[in-house]
Structure 1
């Protein structure tokens, strides 16, 4: 599945996404001009809106109620946006998607308040839905995301990490929110518990694959396509699956230490990226991503045939093949 096919999939659900986008804009309005401007800046930076799409598609397996589906989708996208703002503070990142981050445009304090504001708006958005189990799931998800931010800070520039540390981190960073998007989208539609379980697991497995591919792209893509320097994860002190593969490699460790010490030159950065690309690390990470994607597709195989199931298959293929 290429980018053109992905855009075609989004067109199929254009009306739903337009409603969600309008509600997102309403949600970030604030009596504070600074908070509103910062929130709108992040919203207008765009994004793939994967979480809203997962909510929409999961809700297709039950009784689809447009307003409630939109509320769930908006809440989850706001939580995602809040986590991005906080991540940029943790990483001291100046660029995201080719634009200045909130912390770079303002400062760390405004960025943290903006993220907290979006968390609060997410809870407010969900308050119109009376399902207690959905609120409990959302609350637990937010707690786990916050734990993940703390773990990410703890793991930053820590060289004694292993695969379990990495998988735990990306679960909370990405997979959990995609899993919750599927679960709440399915639950708000009143579909069966079996469908809810399968869709929840699909979201988790797809989310794990999505983040691994993101980490691969950080190494193999270009600065222009990423909207930030390639290798930013390592420059920010984060070991990802491709770089974990090389932790016993002396030459790579030299590059890593320089990146962590912020002494890596531009030429060394390019050489480091080339070294990682030729090491077998990318193939290793891709194989693990493919295994997660296969598990994701196995979960939806028994679901009812229809455009939602087809769309999930297409998204899974897109995740595995995406180049941007």
Structure 2
């Protein structure tokens, strides 16, 4: 996800991430309840890129990064993220996550929801010693996360602009956690208010770019998308930005897409393949890639308010990685609207 060219920073990050892993294990382990420990650690044990804890740690480099509260902040953010995955998998009826059976598939929806709630509670315990301001940051993020999930579930409705609505949903569902990671890392390290605000702006834009790149990957490289099945968004009837941009066209391809999507989520394998092919050939994909670049550039601009350092350079490489993750426009494809 990132390239660290500075050896000292790379070594510190390696040690700090190891410390976060140890703290995650001890925090969620419940010595009096083996079953609770098993379900709470299920996805943590399955791995993950740990992007959000890394962002906490890098943000902390703009203050005193060796404060003990920094590791607590990083672990708290990761627990919030994993809790959201437990709940998302229930909402999406997902069978797998990170290459292993989801908690809801292995046990039940009730177990998954309660285990997610347990992780939220443990995250709150970790963040409590950081002070009232940090707890308020965490509470605001949780409010945004739940709001985004609810708005996605309810849908835009007839009178809302679908694209604006979707961008608001991903800002709350995805970018809020990136923003929390950046701001909490800065707060835990005692960074200045100016640095905290700059890092928060960076996290917000980076989170949106990350989700839009994820939308592209769902259509082009689903194997790179957190272990989810191909065309998961189409299967679930989620109108992501590539789809919204594709169906607003006036050509035959857009008309065929609108017809295929008229009845909601696509379950039929042949129809799903057709819709995915039309989307991959549509201008919507290239336009979404352009939006990834735009938000990644916005994140990079926010970093210019911070002093030059190996940490800032590494944060910049995160922007570059997300852009490259979305990839170039596929070759050999034609515009179905032409």
When normalised by structure 2's length, the TM-score is 0.88
Distance 1:196 1:279, change over 3 A: same
The match for 2:330 is none
1:244 maps onto 2:249 in alignment: no
Structure 1: gaps of 5 or more residues: none
Contact 2:217 2:224 in 1 (8 A): no
The whole-number CA distance in structure 2 between the counterparts of 1:157 and 1:115 is 29
TM-score between both structures, scaled by the size of structure 1: 0.91
Partner of 2:277: 274
Residues 287-296 or 185-194, more deviating: 185-194
Give the CA deviation at 1:11: 5.0
Task: Tell me, yes or no, if the aligned pair for 2:72 and 2:126 is still in contact at 8 Å.
Answer: yes
* Structure 2 residue 209 is the aligned partner of structure 1 residue 204: no
Instruction: Say if 1:159 and 1:112 are closer, same or farther in 2 by CA, change over 3 A.
Output: farther
Q: Deviations over 1:221-269 (max 9, x none)?
A: 1458653321101211211000111234221123324561x5x322332
Query: Secondary structure at 1:322's aligned position in 2?
Result: helix
1:301 to 1:272, Cα distance in 2 relative to 1, 3 A: same
1:254 aligns with 2:259: yes
> Contact 1:218–1:226 (CA<8 Å) still a contact in 2?
no
Question: Paired residue for 1:36?
Answer: 37
> How far apart are 1:155 and its partner, in Å?
2.0
Where in structure 2 are the equivalents of 1:284-299 lying within 5 Å? 284-299=287-302
Kept after mapping to 1: 8 A contact 2:213/2:323: yes
Q: Distance in 2 between matches of 1:237 and 1:246?
A: 15
Range 226-235 or range 101-110, more displaced: 226-235
Aligned to 1:92: 93
Tell whether 2:78 aligns with 1:73: no
Alignment of 1:322 with 2:325, yes or no, is yes
TM-superposed deviation, 1:159 = 11
- In the alignment, structure 2 segments of 5+ residues that lack a partner are 249-253, 328-338
Change (3 A) 1:157 1:275: farther
Equivalent pair of 1:35/1:113 in contact (CA under 8 Å): no
Aligned residue number for residue 312 of structure 2: 309
Cα shift at 1:128? 2.3
Q: Say if 2:222 and 2:231, in contact at 8 Å, map to a contact too.
A: no
Measured against aligned partners, the alpha-carbon deviations of 1:104-147 in whole angstroms (never above 9, x if no partner) come to 11110000001000000001111222x22111111111122122
Q: Which structure 2 residues correspond to residues 96-115 of structure 1 after superposition, within 5 A?
A: 96-115=97-116
Distance 2:296 2:224 in 1: 27
How far off is 1:67 after superposition? Answer: 1.9
- Structure 1 contact 19–70 (Cα < 8 Å) conserved: yes
- Higher RCO structure, 1 or 2 (CA under 8 Å, sep 6+): 1
1:90-116 CA-to-partner distances (Å, cap 9, x unmatched) read 111112222211101111000000100
Q: How many residues align?
A: 319
Shift of 1:270: 2.1
CA distance in 2, matches of 1:157, 1:47: 35
Worse-superposed segment, 214-223 or 274-283? 214-223
Cα distance in 1 for partners of 2:94, 2:324 equals 27
1:148 matched to 2:153? The reply is no
Are the structure 2 counterparts of residues 152 and 34 from structure 1 closer, same or farther at C-alpha, using a change threshold of 3 Å?
Answer: farther
Post-superposition offset of 1:149: 1.9
The residue that corresponds to 1:219 in the other structure is: 219
- TM-superposed CA distance for 1:45, in Å, is 1.8
- Larger mean Cα displacement after TM superposition, 224-233 or 190-199: 224-233
The 3-state SS of whatever aligns with 1:245 is helix
The answer to whether the 8 Å contact 1:85/1:115 transfers is yes
Taking the aligned partners of 1:228 and 1:11, their CA distance within structure 2 comes to 30
Q: What is the distance in 1 between the residues matched to 2:221 and 2:2?
A: 19
